[in-house]
Amino acid sequence: MTNDYPIPVTLENRLMGQGIYVTGCELRPPDDERDGSDSTADDVTDGETATAVPDGAGIVLEYETVAETPAVDSNEVGTVVRTVLDIAAEREWSPGRLEATSLTTDGQRRGEWHVKREWFEGLGLEIDDLEFSQRVLGTVQSADG
């Protein structure tokens, strides 16, 4: 057993210092382990320690940010992605799909974006930093369409 906080708590603690406030964070089982039962999802999301989270577990993240722009910007995306990658490296864990929704401090939706599991897996191998960033930023959808 490890003394590390669960990944959602660690993510929340680290992002808070960056002006990003997590309002919801759920771990999802890897796609290849989903069998239609709810027990696997419960095992991943009920505050499990870092060692219990399987490689490829996805993250569904909702956060508020204090930003002057009405839509998601590259700085917040970069901050979240770098934080997930740092946690993954520290715990020798491979993240799955990351789905993020950005809100204003008033709870208004600013937009959403995602990172595919394959992009995380390919980063530094067949995908360089620039291509990875372009792919992720290409997924940004603003709230106004």
How do residues 91-129 score in pLDDT, each as one tens digit?
Answer: 999 999 999 999 999 999 999 999 999 999 999 999 999
Identity of the residue numbered 27: L
pTM of the model: 0.84
Q: Which of 72, 67, 20 is CA-nearest to residue 11?
A: 20
62 SS3 class: strand
| Rounded Cα–Cα distance for residues 99 and 56 (Å) | 13
Q: Which residues contact 44 (CB under 8 A, 6 or more apart)?
A: 27, 28, 29, 52, 53, 54, 57
Distance CA 3, CA 5 (A): 6
Give the confidence band of 141 by pLDDT, cuts at 50, 70, 90: very high
Q: Bridge-partner residues for 113, per DSSP?
A: 100
Averaged pLDDT score across all residues of the chain: 86
The pLDDT assigned to 68 comes to 81
> Which of the four pLDDT bands, split at 50, 70 and 90, describes residue 130?
very high
| pLDDT at residue 32 in the model | 52
Provide CB contacts within 8 A for 31, sequence distance 6+: 56, 58, 96, 97, 117
8-state DSSP, 38: S
* pLDDT single digits (tens) 25-81: 999 998 754 444 343 344 444 444 445 689 999 999 999 998 888 899 999 999 999
In angstroms, rounded to a whole number, what is the distance separating the alpha carbons of residues 59 and 7? 9
